[in-house]
Structures are given as structure tokens and as C-alpha cells.
Amino acid sequence: MSLIVAKLAQFDLRSDADVIDALRAVTEWAEEIGLTDLDRTKVVTATSELARNTVLHGQGGVMSLQIVRDGIREGLRVTFEDQGPGIADIDRALEDGYSTEGSLGMGLPGARRLVNEFELTSTVGAGTCVTIVRWKP
């Protein structure tokens, strides 16, 4: 099957207010497709972490929100792109407890655990792209 994008919107991520707008949209779209309360909470929590990373570490960027269909499956796909400094060691960044900022280091690995699909690509000096998908059960 090929993935069909049924609905699409983009959000600039430059400030906390932008993050709040993005979270509101993800919540609304998750309700629209009928995600359970638990699945909605998971995708909103992952979005919160990744949107904040885009603003704080990526020096701002763009979030693309999509309702996607793959055969009979329906879900939300959210992509975060920035042109920030990039991530030098992706494997290390995805380890629990690793942090460059002195935090708990749960952000990226935590976000990855909350979704069905997680893809991260990054180039030092050029930016980072993270795509997550949460499928409706």
C-alpha cells in the first residue's frame, strides 16, 4: 500500500506560543481521527518534546502535521525540521540519560517510545529532521 496524505498543515516553530499552537492542532487532529485518550496523550507528549527541541536546540524550524492513511490504517504523521547545528552522534542522543544540556536526557528516547514510527536524520551544521507516526489502533 502507498501512504495517502488526507490532510496537511504547517506550523512555524520559533517561540513557546508557536509550540502551544502546534500542540493544540495535534490534539484536535488526534481527536478528529478518533485516537484513544492514551494514544492522543502519547502523540501530544512526543510532539511537545520535539517541538520544544526544534525551538531550543534547532534555533526554530517548521512542523508539518498530516493525517495519513495506509490501506485501512489511519494515523498522524508529524515532522519537525530545522536548520540548526545538527546532532553529531544520533545513536548517543537516543540513549536514555544522555544530555548536552544537563537535563535528564529523556527527550528523544522518550518521544521515540511514545509513537509507532520514529525517524531522525541530522547533519552537523545543516539541521535535523524528525518524523513520528502514531497509528490509530
Residue spans of the domains in the chain: they are: 4-135
At residue 113, the pLDDT reads 94
What is the fold of 4-135? Heat Shock Protein 90 (3.30.565)
Q: Is 126 exposed, middle or buried (0-12, 13-18, 19+ CB in 10 A)?
A: exposed
Please, are residues 128 and 84 in contact by the beta-carbon 8 Å criterion? Answer: yes
At residue 106, the pLDDT reads 61
| pTM, full prediction | 0.92
Tens of each residue's pLDDT in the chain, 137 residues:
689 999 999 999 999 999 999 999 999 999 999 999 999 999 999 999 999 999 999 999 999 999 999 999 999 999 999 999 999 989 988 887 766 665 444 689 999 999 999 999 999 999 999 999 999 98
For cell 490532510, what's the residue?
7
At residue 104, the pLDDT reads 42
At residue 2, the pLDDT reads 84
Chain centroid to Cα 93, Å, comes to: 15
Please, are residues 2 and 68 in contact by the beta-carbon 8 Å criterion? Answer: no
61-70 vs 117-123, strand pairing mode: unpaired
73-82 vs 4-13, strand pairing mode: unpaired
**What do you get for the CA distance between the two ends of the chain, in Å?**
18
